[in-house]
């Protein structure tokens, strides 16, 4: 790939940062942001490790990256500039941090701040915009949606979710074929642990793997429903008796009636004081083994489910790019304190568009699965859920592969611009 240096006569500087857990398509959003900004002769600085880049004045000069590299970013998973798990507190409690950010922005002539993340990031973008207004510093703050958890308010769906959902549905369908083949003499119960601490969207997406009652997944456990061990085991038992095997998909966030995370029951310390790491799937598998005696296997895909760019949803990819492009447009129009959100205009045929929404309506809210999406017995999804979910995993968008059989993911140079301020110790 040519590494020509792009010389852009800057009309001002846009700061872009990635936040929270990364996804298969957050870099596609970054790619769209940089492409749109370059077309408008804007300079893009990216935060090294998210908002920490602003606090530490570690600003990546994206103009060092060739057009080919920025295009390749659209098919590269992970967070190309580094992300972070940092939740800033209120303007009062964390005032020095917010002020430092503005200082850094001012020092580098940053006029537009795009923060690509979930509801915490929307909150941060909103607070920065308020402080900038208080200080009379002209800054337009835009939130850009991203999360595999699909739990942002207002937007119909969150970029990153569709690809993780496709990974989940495909993986469960494939593993189920394995279990069906082995069940007669070996594994009868298989448990798949899906991400989703507070909302069961990804677990729900597994429901797309089968259509009939006796097709896998036979049981889905949602954080939106109390986990009842006896009812669960009875359902597993009945399914094995009827179908010969049972595929369970459990959200990592399921809780018992007393509000405790089931995942915590699986961990803790052993008799020697050593940490035992477990999780929901391992724990459920243990209960099935003890109570029913079936041979059981389980999987914890963990990061694989959110970084599987090789199995991205084409719909999700397009939406990730669309919100990136829209974010730059909103920024230049001075639509401070907004986020481009996905609006669904039709289920069949699936149609969507992007519109601006106020960050106030998104920050710190959490969208769980509506009641109408969960089957009455609590163990599966409804037709309404299918109508919502199915378009989101539609279409394939594989990355290019090299002669070595591996996807050609790109790595950026990530060169920092010289610092202009004394270090602030963040």
Binding to a second copy in span 172-211, by CB under 8 A: 173-182, 184-187, 190, 208-209
Alpha-carbon torsion 165, 283, 176, 236, what sign?
Answer: negative
Residues 255-294 that bind a second copy (CB under 8 A): 266, 270-271, 274-279, 282-283, 285-287, 289-290
Establish if 307 lies at the interface with a second copy (CB under 8 A).
yes
9 vs 405 by CB, closer to a second copy? 405
The catalytic residue among 149, 178, 270, 371 is 149
For this structure, is 149 an active site residue? Answer: yes
- As beta bridge partners, residue 351 has 346
Q: Which residue has the tokens 């999700």?
A: 316
Nearer to a second copy, 267 or 356 (CB): 267
Q: What are phi and psi of 52, to 5 degrees?
A: -60, -30
Interface pick for a second copy out of 46, 169, 189, 250 (rule CB under 8 A) = 169
- Residues 6 or more apart whose Cβ sits within 8 Å of residue 183: 244, 245
CB of 1 to a second copy, least distance (A): 17
Cβ 299 to a second copy shortest distance, Å: 4
- C-alpha 384/C-alpha 378 separation (Å) is 14
Tell me if 193 is assigned to a ligand binding site: no
Binding characters for a second copy, 359-398, by CB under 8 A (x = yes): -------------------------------x--xxxx-x
Strand partners, 340: 356
**Sole window of 111-119, 249-257, 338-346, 399-407 interacting with a second copy (rule: CB under 8 A):** 399-407
409 lies in the binding site for a second copy (CB under 8 A): yes
Stretch that binds a second copy, among 34-42, 49-57, 91-99, 137-145 (CB under 8 A): 49-57
Select 16 or 330, whichever has its Cβ closest to a second copy.
16
Specify the 3-state DSSP secondary structure of 265: helix
Q: How far apart are CA 326 and CA 339, in angstroms?
A: 9
Contact set for a second copy, span 107-166 (CB under 8 A): 166
φ, ψ of residue 145 in degrees (nearest 5): -75, 145
Tokens linked to 264: 């915590």
Q: Does 16 sit near a second copy (CB under 8 A)?
A: no
As a whole number of Å, the end-to-end CA separation of the chain is 36
Query: Is 119 annotated as belonging to a binding site?
Result: yes
User: In angstroms, rounded to a whole number, what is the distance separating the alpha carbons of residues 305 and 335?
Assistant: 34
* Neighbour tally for 322: CB within 10 Å: 19
Q: Which is nearer to a second copy, 258 or 290 (CB)?
A: 290
CB of 202 to a second copy, least distance (A): 15
Q: How many CB atoms lie within 10 A of CB 157?
A: 25
Interaction between residue 18 and a second copy (CB under 8 A) = yes
Which part of the chain contacts a second copy (CB under 8 A), choosing from 30-38, 81-89, 136-144, 250-258? 81-89
**Contact flag: residue 59 with a second copy (CB under 8 A):** no
CB closer to a second copy, 218 vs 309: 309
Q: How many Å apart are CA 233 and CA 50, to the nearest integer?
A: 43
59 to each of 110, 121, 122, 226, 421, how far by Cα in Å?
A: 11, 18, 20, 45, 12
Q: How many CB atoms lie within 10 A of CB 353?
A: 12
At closest approach, how far in Å is the CB of 362 from a second copy? 23
- Please give the Cα distance from 148 to 259 (Å, whole number): 24
Residues with catalytic annotation? 149
Residue positions forming the annotated binding site for Mg(2+): 119
Residue positions forming the annotated binding site for substrate: 147-149, 195-197, 252, 303-306
């Amino acid at each position: 790939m040519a590494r020509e240096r792009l010389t852009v006569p800057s009309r001002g500087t846009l700061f872009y940062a990635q936040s929270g857990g990364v996804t298969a398509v957050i870099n596609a959003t970054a790619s769209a942001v940089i492409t749109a900004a370059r077309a408008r002769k804007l300079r893009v600085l990216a935060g090294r490790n998210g908002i920490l880049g602003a606090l530490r004045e570690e600003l990546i000069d994206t103009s060092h990256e060739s057009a080919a590299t920025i295009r390749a970013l659209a098919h590269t998973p992970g967070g190309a500039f580094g992300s972070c798990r940092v939740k800033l507190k209120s303007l009062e409690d964390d005032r020095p941090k917010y002020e430092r950010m503005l200082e850094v922005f001012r020092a580098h002539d940053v006029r537009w701040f795009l923060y690509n993340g979930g509801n915490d990031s929307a909150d941060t973008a909103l607070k920065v915009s308020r402080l900038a207004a208080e200080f009379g510093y002209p800054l337009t703050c835009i939130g850009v949606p991203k999360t595999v958890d699909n739990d942002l308010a207002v937007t119909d769906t969150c970029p990153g979710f569709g690809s993780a959902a496709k990974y989940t549905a495909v993986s469960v369908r494939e593993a189920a074929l394995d279990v069906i083949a082995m069940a007669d003499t070996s594994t009868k119960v298989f448990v798949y642990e899906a991400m989703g601490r507070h909302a069961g969207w990804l677990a729900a997406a597994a429901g797309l793997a089968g259509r009939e009652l006796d097709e896998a997944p036979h049981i889905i456990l949602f954080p939106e429903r109390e986990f009842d061990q006896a009812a669960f085991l009875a359902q597993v038992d009945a399914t094995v008796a009827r179908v010969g095997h049972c595929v369970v998909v459990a959200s990592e966030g399921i809780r018992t009636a007393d509000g405790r995370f089931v995942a915590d029951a699986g961990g803790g310390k052993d008799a020697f004081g050593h940490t035992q790491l477990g999780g929901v799937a391992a724990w459920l598998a243990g209960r099935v083994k003890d109570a029913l005696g079936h041979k059981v296997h389980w999987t914890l895909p963990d990061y694989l489910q959110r970084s599987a760019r090789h199995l991205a949803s084409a719909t999700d990819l397009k939406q990730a790019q669309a919100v990136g492009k829209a974010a730059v447009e909103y920024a230049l129009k001075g639509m401070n304190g907004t986020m481009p959100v996905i609006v669904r205009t039709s289920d069949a045929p699936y149609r969507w568009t992007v519109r601006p929404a106020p960050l106030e309506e998104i920050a710190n809210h959490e969208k769980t699965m509506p009641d109408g999406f969960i089957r009455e017995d609590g163990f599966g999804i409804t037709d309404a859920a299918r109508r919502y979910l199915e378009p989101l995993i539609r279409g394939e968008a594989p990355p290019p592969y090299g002669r070595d059989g591996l996807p050609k993911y790109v790595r950026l140079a990530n060169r920092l611009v010289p610092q202009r301020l004394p270090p602030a110790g963040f």
